[in-house]
Amino acid sequence: MKFIGEFVQEIDKKKTSFQQLFGLDEKQSKLESILKEELESHWHPLPEPRNVFTEEYSVDSSSASRTLSNGIDFFIIRALMLGTGNYNKPKLRFEMVKGIRDYNVITGFERILRDLIEIEIVLDNIEELPENSIVLIDGNLYGRFTHLLQELHLRGWHHLPLVLLDAMQRLFEACVERKVMLVGVSKFSKTRVVTAAMLSERGYDVADPDHLDVELLYRWKHRETGYTTPLLLGEYAVEKEVKNMYGDPDGYRRRFFNNIDPSRREWANGVIEGIPSSPAIVMFHMIPKGGAQPMRVDIPACSLGIDKKIMDVTPFEFMEPHTVTDVAKQLTADFGGRDVYNALLYVVDREVRLGVKAVDTVYKSVLGQELGVPIEYDRSSRRFAR
Amino acid sequence: MNLRKAGYVVGEVDTTRFTFVSDIESFPPRYEYLVIPNVDEREGIGKKPVVVLAQVNRIINYSDILGEGLSLDELESIINRYTATTKVFGEAKILGYLNRRGEVIMPRSAAVPGQEVFIAPSDLLERFFTKDIRSGIPIGTLITRDEVKVALDPNGFRRHVAVIAQTGAGKSYLVGLMLENLLPLGATVIVLDPNSDYVMMRRTGDGGATAIADDLVVYRPPGLKGRRYSDQEVGGAEPYTIDFSKLNAGQVCDVAGISSRWAVIREAVGDALGQLQGIYGPPQLIEALERIALNPATDARKAKAAMSATTYIRRLLNYKIWGSQDIPLGELVKPKRLSVIDLAGLQRNVSEYIVQKTLDDVWGLAVTGSLEYPVFIVLEEAHNFAPGSGAGQRSGSSLGIIERIAAEGRKFGIFLLVVTQRPNKISSNVLSQCNSQIIMRLTNPEDMSAVRRSSEGLSEDLFNDLPGLNKGEAIVVGELTKVPTMVRVTGRRSGEGGSDIDLEEALRGALKAYELAKKMKPEEDDDKEYKTRW
């Protein structure tokens, strides 16, 4: 095989530093020793697996985008909500947008639409869910709530991040009202928030620590089962702006959402003002089986009966481990194995998946027929669509 | 036409096969017949809608979720929470459509994805597979449809027919069924039966008389012990023997097992026979050989050969076949007559001689224009009488006449029904002349290859289906049906001689006999016998 000799030489040259990345080097810095001790004290045995909730639902989405030969981009976004007892609700959104030049805008637009459709599908169906149900959404909740607090650089769609935030606020309220447990489960996370919280406890105020949570868990807990002390996330990701959002939403909008349509300004101010008073998010990592990768779990505090808002928590605080016992029991019961980190999320992931063939044969043909125009991809898309 | 929908045509379609999607509840089974109505077939410059018949040859159930990469724990975690959707699709091969004259035509146009697929109605299937159900020879029903009867076209027997299957697949049952339906049409049939498979055809399964009982004669040599069925059980038998004095030197040597390479010994037999006259048997031949051997005037080499020949001829003394009651040839070729020549219990060489002689006699009639009606000859265990060059056994005396009839017999009104479980061992000159074949379950790769080589009508799909056939299921290819047909063979009324023995029952009997013998024998004797033996 070409380049294999060069590959081996390159690894050989940098072997020691690469091995250190894996923690194979036994030498630990002082900070690492502290983190190891902290992790021990914030590591808890898993409760016995048990189906705690009346019904269990899972939500996931998939998407595809293609650029047409006239420069227009189209987006197919679909979501599926599955439940025990063959509950199956689909939702699809299709958008055609012109004028996108930056590839990052395409991915950002697609990402928000996917986050949004997952929230909307639960909102659409929440009235049907029995009390004491659990809804598992693929991915974390805190991130999608706090990461996109500025406009999308796309004409006509600048307001889209606020649509997502608005939907999330409504979903949190609806879940409380319907007594439904909402849980975000990430099969992998690169967050550093537990590391930061542990260092903060020991007096290290490290805003941007070097170590990811998953790295610590891999080094010291990989062969064990258990979960980390639940951490309540408040202002952590939006610390600097919380007061502005609450005290001067219009000023925040002008700074970060200046290009939105004037007719939406009032609505936008309301959404921005609501962010600080949205529920804080409880998050923890869990390893359901020795050797398995850790999962990140996010739960709105209100779903656990904790009345703490984003602005009440500066920027995070550890909770009692038993706060999340029921969710941990359920997720442990749902664990299948290395690939099936959660049975229902695994199924919904497979069922909602949008294949290249489906997009480039079925959806493309239907689109052409419905619009009555030939649909042709740009050259670079065609390379992949074959 | 009230049709039951089976699904839709999807994906790539050509004129020979298509894929269709259905659901798990209404999915047709493998081998089920389907129709696609309104396939636009080209006719000149225009089109006409035709009803295309197809057969399901593959069914695939699959799940996107329950993949083979999952561990047991992972699977269980999913299955315990969620009923994963199973998707179903199938592949069907196109068999053709019926034109106005009732002929099967392969379409030149393909169906279109999205066209509806239906379960084929029974009346269409009957018209499709059977030329004329009223005058045909019924052999059962379609594999997937008990209500659709299949009958062989009697004219299909104008070519030789091979019935091929491994042991226990139901060959003899099928041949018996064909014979009991062929006979009432006026057929003359001679069955050369090495295992007494057809001797019970006068009896019904419950012991009564069959409708063909009066037209069936069983010939068997008298005096043979240990037959599977007594003369009384088979409803009486005509004795037949061989007149030893009518055998020429070559025939005597073949029957006695003297190899054609031992020319001097065979010559000595010829010399001895030359000394005999009138009616004689093996004892007289031995005496003549001894006279030659002991005659001081005989040269030493010939004397030794004559003495060696006596060893072989002496074996013939034990054969219970010598006498003067030849099978009457005139009876064998009577119209509407089924003659079963029971060869069971006879030495192989003798059986071969009888087969050869019978066929020679019938051939002699045929080539001299003395055969009034067509004769069907059933050759059971044909690989033993007409072995191929790779069969690993010497070619017996019967091979030549069988190959000759296979090549030329149909011109003279002699039609073979070759029955074998080892197509790989049979002469290719014989098998390749069998233009129609009825093939039942076959798993031996060498035998399958032989069938493949000899059968023009056996498609790749049908060939692959052979190991998957159940007992009593057959594929008919050639001129007996309009198109290759998969049949479940049923409806035989006459008793079977070749059915499997009830081994469990037989072993129970053996155990009982053993215990009885043990009770009657003192224990110390047992010990004594044991010690003596070992």
Inter-chain CB proximity B71 and A337 less than 8 Å? yes
Select from A139, A143, A286, A316 the least CA-distant residue to A217. Answer: A286
Both B32 and B169 in one domain: the answer is no
Q: What is the pLDDT of residue B121?
A: 94
B434, part of any domain? yes
Inter-chain CB proximity A351 and B78 less than 8 Å? no
Both B336 and B459 in one domain: the answer is yes
Residues of chain A short of pLDDT 50, as ranges, are 383-386
Select from A195, A226, A115 the least CA-distant residue to A162. Answer: A115
Interface test with A, best of B74, B80, B81 (most A CBs within 10 A): B81
Residues found in chain B: 534
Query: Using CB atoms, which residue from B64, B70, B83 is nearest to A339?
Result: B70
CA distance B291 to B129: 68
Give the chain B residue whose CA is nearest to the CA of A337.
B74
Query: Which chain B residues have a beta carbon less than 8 Å from that of A350?
Result: 64-65
What's A68's DSSP letter? B
CA distance B60 to A323: 48
Both B264 and B360 in one domain: the answer is no
What integer is the mean pLDDT of B299-315? 92
CA distance A219 to B240: 94
Inter-chain CB proximity B84 and A336 less than 8 Å? no
B78, part of any domain? yes
The residue out of B120, B142, B172 marking a domain boundary is B120
Residue the block writes with tokens 């006239």: A70
What contacts B22, CB < 8 A, 6 or more positions away?
B6, B7, B28, B88, B89, B90, B117
Both B257 and B170 in one domain: the answer is no
B496, part of any domain? no
For helices A30-41 and A193-201, angle between their N-to-C axes, nearest 10 degrees: 100
What's A94's DSSP letter? E
Inter-chain CB proximity A344 and B64 less than 8 Å? no
Q: What is the pLDDT of residue B78?
A: 85
ipTM value for the complex: 0.71
B503, part of any domain? no
- Residue A31 exposure: Cα atoms within 13 Å on the Cβ side: 12
CA distance A85 to A87: 6
Measure in Å the smallest separation between the Cα of A340 and chain B Cα atoms: 6
What contacts B456, CB < 8 A, 6 or more positions away?
B435
Q: Which tokens belong to B138?
A: 């019924």
B230, part of any domain? no
Query: Using CB atoms, which residue from A56, A347, A353 is nearest to B78?
Result: A347
Query: Which chain B residues have a beta carbon less than 8 Å from that of A338?
Result: 71, 74
pLDDT band at B531 (very low <50, low <70, confident <90, very high): very low
CA distance B219 to A360: 75
Q: Specify the range with the lowest mean pLDDT, choosing from A147-151, B131-135, B358-362.
A: B131-135
Inter-chain CB proximity B73 and A334 less than 8 Å? no
Using the Cβ of A90 and the Cβ atoms of chain B, whether some distance falls under 8 Å is answered with no
CA angle B163, B165, B166 (to 5 degrees): 150
> Beta strand B473-477 with A281-287: parallel, antiparallel or unpaired?
unpaired
Select from B265, B317, B262, B251 the least CA-distant residue to B286. Answer: B317
CA distance B483 to B474: 13
For the stretch B70-85, what's the b/e string if a residue is b when 16 or more beta carbons lie within 10 angstroms of its beta carbon?
Answer: beeebbebbeebbebe
Query: Which chain B residues have a beta carbon less than 8 Å from that of A82?
Result: 82
Both B278 and B188 in one domain: the answer is no
Q: Specify the range with the lowest mean pLDDT, choosing from A292-306, B68-82, B211-225, B398-412.
A: B68-82
Please name the fold of domain A56-352: archaeoglobus fulgidus dsm 4304 fold (3.30.2170)
Both B479 and B369 in one domain: the answer is yes
What contacts B111, CB < 8 A, 6 or more positions away?
B9, B13, B18, B36, B39, B52
Q: Do A163 and A86 contact (CB within 8 A), yes or no? A: no
Is the pLDDT confidence value at B456 over 80?
Answer: no
Q: What is the pLDDT of residue B530?
A: 41
Q: What is the pLDDT of residues B361-407, one digit of tens each?
A: 999 999 999 998 999 999 999 999 999 876 555 556 789 999 999 99
What contacts B405, CB < 8 A, 6 or more positions away?
B359, B363, B377, B414, B416
Both B305 and B340 in one domain: the answer is no
Both B196 and B55 in one domain: the answer is no
Domain boundaries, chain A: 56-352, 356-385
B216, part of any domain? no
Q: What is the pLDDT of residues B399-440, one digit of tens each?
A: 999 999 999 999 999 999 999 999 999 998 999 999 899 999
B378, part of any domain? yes
Q: What is the pLDDT of residue B1?
A: 59
pLDDT band at B67 (very low <50, low <70, confident <90, very high): confident
For helices B263-274 and B249-256, angle between their N-to-C axes, nearest 10 degrees: 120
Both B432 and B473 in one domain: the answer is yes
Q: Do A175 and A278 contact (CB within 8 A), yes or no? A: no
Both B455 and B310 in one domain: the answer is no
pLDDT band at B468 (very low <50, low <70, confident <90, very high): confident
**Domain span holding position B194:** 154-207+325-489
CA dihedral A109, A111, A115, A121 (to 10 degrees): 70
Mark which residues 57-96 of B lie under 8 Å from A by CB. Answer: 64-65, 69-71, 73-78, 80-85
Give the chain B residue whose CA is nearest to the CA of A334.
B77
CA distance B391 to B429: 13
Mark which residues 334-363 of A lie under 8 Å from B by CB. Answer: 334-340, 343-344, 346-347, 350-351, 353
What integer is the mean pLDDT of B355-365? 92
Q: What is the pLDDT of residue A386?
A: 40
Inter-chain CB proximity A334 and B81 less than 8 Å? yes
Q: What is the pLDDT of residues B499-517, one digit of tens each?
A: 666 778 878 888 888 888 8
What integer is the mean pLDDT of B9-31? 90
Is the pLDDT confidence value at B493 over 90?
Answer: no
pLDDT above 90: percentage of residues in chain B: 49
CA distance B143 to B470: 10
Measure in Å the smallest separation between the Cα of B107 and chain A Cα atoms: 28
Domain count, chain B: 4
Average pLDDT, chain B: 88
Both B459 and B524 in one domain: the answer is no
Q: Specify the range with the lowest mean pLDDT, choosing from B232-241, B308-317, B320-329, B478-487.
A: B320-329
What contacts B259, CB < 8 A, 6 or more positions away?
B394
Between the alpha carbon of residue A36 and those of residues A22, A25, A195, A209, the distances in Å are 15, 15, 10, 14
Between the alpha carbon of residue A12 and those of residues A6, A7, B23, B214, B337, the distances in Å are 10, 9, 56, 95, 92
Q: What is the pLDDT of residue B394?
A: 58
Measure in Å the smallest separation between the Cα of A348 and chain B Cα atoms: 9
Written as one letter, the residue type at A104 is: N
Both B390 and B480 in one domain: the answer is yes
DSSP A260-288: S-GGGHHHHHHHHHHSTTSBPEEEEEEES
Task: Give Dmax over CA atoms of chain B in angstroms.
Answer: 102
Residue the block writes with tokens 């090549």: B407
User: 3-state SS of B93-153?
Assistant: EEEEEECCCCCEECCCCCCCCCCEEEECCHHHHHHHHCCCCCCCEEEEEECCEEEEEEEEC
The 10 Å Cβ neighbour count of residue B39 is 23
Give the chain A residue whose CA is nearest to the CA of B86.
A351
Give the chain A residue whose CA is nearest to the CA of B77.
A336
> Beta strand B414-420 with B375-379: parallel, antiparallel or unpaired?
parallel
